[in-house]
Structure formats: C-alpha cells, structure tokens
Structure 1
Amino acid sequence: MSSPQTPAAPLRIAVLSAWHVHAEEYGRAAIDHPGTELVAVWDDDAERGQDLARRLEVPFEADLDALLAREDLDGVTVTTATSDHDAVIGAVLAAGKHVFTEKLLSPTVAGCDALISAAEAAGLALTVSLPRLSHGYTVALREVLDSGRLGRLTYSRVRLAHNGSTANWLPARFYDPVEALGGAFSDLAAHPVYLTQLILGTDAAAASATYTDMTGRGVEDNAVVTATTADGAIGVIETGFVTPASPFTIEVQGTEGTLLYGFEQDAQGTPVMRVGTGSGWDAIDVPADAPAPFSLWVEAIRSGEPTRENLERARALTSLTIAANALARG
C-alpha cells in the first residue's frame, strides 16, 4: 500500500509595486490561494509600497535585488508601471523566479517575445492576467463559436467602459502617456481586445482608431477601434473612462445567427446570453467561472507546463493595442 504524499509547501510570493490599481487584488490572491503565501511587497516608491505592505500585513522590501536574491522566494506578481515591465520582469526571470503580471506584458511585441523566450529558456512560469477569458460568459461564448451555430462570422462588438475619469477615482499615474502607454485603450480596452481576438482570431488587425480626451488629462478617455480579418469580418472595440452606467456587452454576428450578451438581465439582475437564428432565440446557460489566471499560474508552476495560450493571447493583445495607438496618433 502506498504511503500518503506530503502536501507541497506553499509557494512564496512577493508583490512588485503598488503602481497598478490591481496590486492589492493580486496580493490578496496570493494570501487566499491555498497553494501560495505572500511574503513581501517591493516598490520603487517607498511610501506607496509601505502603504500596500501595511494593508496586506507583510514586510516591505526596499531593495529589489535583495528580494529577488532570496532563496525562499518562488515567484512574484508584477504590478509596476507598464513601461517598466521589460526591465522588472526581465530581472525577475534572470533571478529564477516565476512571474504573474498585469497586462500589457510589454510595451512592444519584441519585448513580449524576449520575455516569453527568457521564461521558456529558464523553465519558469510566466502568465499574464487576462481574467475575462476565465469568466463563465466566455466559457459559454467559446462553446457557441465552436459549435458553428453562427455560421461564417461577419461582425463583433465588445464594449467595456467606466467612469474612472469623470468620477475621478483613477490615480493620476494612469494618465501618464509614458508609464501607462496611453489612456483608456491601453488599460481598460485590453479586455475587449482579447475577447475580440477570441471571437475573430488573433490575426485580426487594427483598421481604425478614434480617441478623444474629454477630461483634459492629455490621453484618451473615450475610444473606439475597429479591426478586420482576412475573411472580411469587422470587430468593434469600445472603451472609456467617461461612462457612468454602461453594461459590459458582447455582440457577435454570423451568416447563420447572432449572439448577444449583457443587453438584458434576468429577474436576479444577472446578464443574459442569447443566440438568435432563423428558428428564434435561445437562452444560453452561462456556467460558473473557470479557474482564474492566478490559479492557472500556480498550476503551471507546479506542473512545469507553460500557459502557452495565455502568452499567445497576451502577445496578440500587445500587438493590436500598439497598432491602434499608432493609428490614433496618425
């Protein structure tokens, strides 16, 4: 009779920077996950980092090199300014630590390729937070797309917007064109971009970009980008920081049917997904969420299997975002 296996020790994780608004969320993910333990916070802004460390009840480490040199550190969550990703993630991988990072992976496609190659060469798990790919509505969307019920796809539209600028709750650094790579499109539109690429394919290319600055912060806070595929389908990506009440919506049109999500709610206030064909409209069951990206990262560390689809989609996300920003600049 085989003896019971000893449970694996928790992976020891540090948060690198409180720059991003999701820094605390990922720190708490490390606290809450049964396979991880949060041990430290680092930030190049000591006051900002110390504040986050107090909230997460872990020590603050001012010396990044000293933190990465710790033999008892297994991995990090990276929530620095996007402009620092190449340097910080590169240093983490060079130190032999696993990386879970906020999007975008890098300011450039070449940077994405370099980081992905470095992680692969070192046998380290590198995963980008693309959370809406794990949500139940995306699970249901994939099933509808895979079934072919919609026919040949002709059009998609994904909208995600909030009032971060008009209600003034986003930090000022989110409007820094260098640190944040822009405004609403480089940040919030990441989710509609990778969902559009899930629907139409990662080869969908940016065709036009309309950006406006309604609150005078110097970057776009209202944006619409169109993308096209080689087959002629059009994808519309909408986002902004100036919308007080706008439901998150997905629309997909095909030659045989239509999928709508978020345009109506059930009696409990839950968004509804429907598919319409020549025979009428069917409600689509939305399952529970699949494992979140943080959990996928932990599993990748344990199994040694890289999160390849995640990295392919993260690279494609960067590519389309950079192209759209260039189009908007003219």
Structure 2
Amino acid sequence: MSGTGRRLGVGIIGLGPAAQPHARALLDLQDQAEVIWAASRTEERARRFAEDFPFPVITDLDEVINDPRIDAVLVLTPPAAHAEVAGRCLAAGKHVLVEKPLELTAARGEQLVTAAREAGRQLGVMLQHRFRPGSLRLRELLRDDALGEVEAAWVTVPWWRPQSYYDEPGRGTMARDGGGVLLTQAVHTVDLFRSLLGVSEVVAAEVRTTGLHDMETEDYVSALLRLGNGAPATLSATTAFPPGRPERIEIMGRRGSASLVGGTLEVRYVDGTGEVLAAEGPTGSGANIMDFPHDAHRAVIADFLAACREDRPPAISGEDALATQRLIELILLRGLDPTA
C-alpha cells in the first residue's frame, strides 16, 4: 500500500442510487484508482449500472472481497448490510469506505470500528458535507476565531420526501435504515454541525411522525442542545416540508455571524465587513434525492485513497462518524424518553 504513485485497486459493493455520485467521482479519479469490480447481488441493478458507467460489473460479492487486485472497497449498501459486508472486506485485508450512516446503531458501528482497528485497515464514512467549500471555509473561520466566542447556533434541515419514497421496500424502517430523518437525511448536517462546534448535552428533544407520511420511523425532530463551549443551540429536522429547502447552519459569535445555507456561506462581522462563498449546486433537499453535484464525494474519496496509501486515518474516519451516530441516538432517546 505504500507509495503515492500507484493507482489503488477499488471495488464497489452496492449499486443503488447512492452509487451514482461515487462512480462519477471515481471516473474523475482514474489517475488514483482503478475500479476492478462493481458488484450488486441483483442482476438488474448491475445491468443498469453498467449502462451508465464503464466499470466491470459482477453479482458475486465473494469475488470482489477475495480479489487480490483490490486494495479498498466502497460499501454502498443499505446500513443494515454494512456490518456484514464491510466486516468481511476488512477481514480480507481491504480498506473500506462506507456510505452514511456508519451502521444501524452506534453499538453495531462500534463493532465495525473495532474490526477495522484489529485488521489494521482504514475505515472511512461518506459524510461529504464536510468537504463542501463553504463548510471548509467555515471550519477555517472557527479555527482562527474569526467569529469570536460562539454565543448560540442553529441547525435546520427542512427537507421533503414524498410518500412514494417511503413506499419503497425498507425505506424509513428500523430494520433497513436504522432510523428516519435524523439518521438517514439530516445525518450529513448534524455531522457537520457537531464536527464544527461540538455538542456537550442534549437538553430536550421532540421526536414524532407527522401526518404527511405513513412510515415506521420519525420524519420530524427538534432539540435543544449545548455546544462544546456550553452555549445554547437548537436543532430542527424534517422530511415533511414540501417542496424542501436547503439545510442551514447558523452561528452567532461575538465578532460576527455565519450562515451556511446548503453550500453557500455568508459571513457578516459587527464592523460591517463580510464575505460570501457561493454554493456549487443543489443539495438533494426535495423529491429528487440525487439532485446534487458529486464534487464533495470526489474530495472525500480522494482523501480516503490518500489515507490508504499513507497509512493514516481518513479525514472522516469510522470513529469520528461514530460520535455523530451516538449524538443522534441520544437526541432520539431524549425525545422518546424525556427522563433519559
């Protein structure tokens, strides 16, 4: 694995909608990685994928896991299959990048993190909002204390998914997805928010399923939080806000404020100066769940490939993603049992 010049052999397991931006990113990164196999247990799904991308397809997962040409595997299956598939890849000596969330539960995610550690392989998670240009710039501003002491913050995810989305087998169920809006959709924004500001406490939460959806898990969550520095914060997330609006993170500091709306960052300082960094495209907040560019996916995968070569944790490691999943579980637990 050493040597930054060699292209890594890559396998893809899981060829549903989530595979589209990964595959486009890998086409862009052909100087760094060669896709050896793209695999799905479903022949029809493999056939449709092959119509869109020039990668060899296969329905035999064992062939991918055991192929000695493959250094790393992108596991893009539903969360319920991550432990089995990613675990087998790690045991076979492959590095693994899994689609969000890490697993169905934090406990299962912890087992996967442990498996990667014991195998001596890298485990990354696709939480690409961290690699948007606006997110990277906001992280710089916070690191440099440009906004001053943070006094309060808000995180809002007013997305929309029609009932037809949840009518697909397994959508919005505990068995397949592990949760509703918070773990399946808002996880990206919650992860970015937590990584930027830290969350030390979940003060209160409300969790419910609205009348707009017939589904097992929640489509609305609100919470009162304490940031890492003790300042107050509020969270609101839903998939019941037609037609869907971009997610939003807002930060109030002593020297100024920052609003990250979708991928657009606007900063205003108390002295009247400021800056705006425009978004690179839509965010998939509405009925078209794949309506977003693949630039951030490409950045995450490029970092992951470099981590495999350099034998270092990726920027978004399994352990880091586990902290976000634990926060989500705490919010849900507090919403369902206020005494927890």
Whether the TM-score (by the shorter chain) exceeds 0.5 is yes
Contact 2:8 2:72 in 1 (8 A): yes
2:206 aligned residue? 209
Contact 2:181 2:219 in 1 (8 A): yes
2:217 corresponds to 1:219: yes
SS at match of 1:173: coil
Contact 1:107 1:318 in 2 (8 A): no
The 2-side partners of 1:52 and 1:206 are apart by: 45
Judging changes above 3 Å, is the alpha-carbon distance between structure 1 residues 321 and 55 closer, same or farther for their aligned structure 2 residues? same
1:29 aligned residue? 25
SS at match of 1:228: strand
The one-letter code matched in structure 1 to 2:18 is H
Judging changes above 3 Å, is the alpha-carbon distance between structure 1 residues 37 and 262 closer, same or farther for their aligned structure 2 residues? same
Which residue, 302, 310, 318 being the options, matches 1:303?
Answer: 310
Contact 1:158 1:250 in 2 (8 A): yes
Mapping of residues 141-290 of structure 1, within 5 Å: 141-165=138-162, 168=165, 171-201=168-198, 203-205=200-202, 207-213=204-210, 214-229=212-227, 231-243=229-241, 244-262=243-261, 271-277=264-270, 279-284=271-276
Contact 1:126 1:306 in 2 (8 A): yes
SS at match of 1:319: helix
The one-letter code matched in structure 2 to 1:274 is V
**For structure 1, which segment, 111-120 or 179-188, has the greater mean C-alpha deviation from structure 2 after superposition?**
111-120
Judging changes above 3 Å, is the alpha-carbon distance between structure 1 residues 159 and 111 closer, same or farther for their aligned structure 2 residues? same
Contact 2:106 2:326 in 1 (8 A): yes
The 2-side partners of 1:149 and 1:9 are apart by: 40
Count the aligned residue pairs.
Answer: 317
Judging changes above 3 Å, is the alpha-carbon distance between structure 1 residues 68 and 324 closer, same or farther for their aligned structure 2 residues? same
TM-score (norm 1): 0.83
SS at match of 1:174: coil
Contact 1:162 1:241 in 2 (8 A): yes
1:266 aligned residue? none
Judging changes above 3 Å, is the alpha-carbon distance between structure 1 residues 88 and 205 closer, same or farther for their aligned structure 2 residues? farther
Judging changes above 3 Å, is the alpha-carbon distance between structure 1 residues 152 and 247 closer, same or farther for their aligned structure 2 residues? same
Contact 1:101 1:127 in 2 (8 A): yes
Deviations 1:48-72 (A, max 9, x none): 3443244324343223223211111
The 1-side partners of 2:136 and 2:28 are apart by: 24
% identity of equivalent residues: 25
Deviations 1:92-135 (A, max 9, x none): 10011111111111223333333223323333221111111111
Deviations 1:116-162 (A, max 9, x none): 23323333221111111111111221122123243332321122343
Judging changes above 3 Å, is the alpha-carbon distance between structure 1 residues 67 and 140 closer, same or farther for their aligned structure 2 residues? closer
**For structure 1, which segment, 161-170 or 288-297, has the greater mean C-alpha deviation from structure 2 after superposition?**
161-170
Judging changes above 3 Å, is the alpha-carbon distance between structure 1 residues 69 and 156 closer, same or farther for their aligned structure 2 residues? same
Question: Which 5+ residue runs of structure 2 have no aligned equivalent?
Answer: 281-294
Contact 1:104 1:317 in 2 (8 A): no
Judging changes above 3 Å, is the alpha-carbon distance between structure 1 residues 44 and 201 closer, same or farther for their aligned structure 2 residues? same
The one-letter code matched in structure 2 to 1:29 is A
Structure 1 residue 320: deviation in Å?
1.1
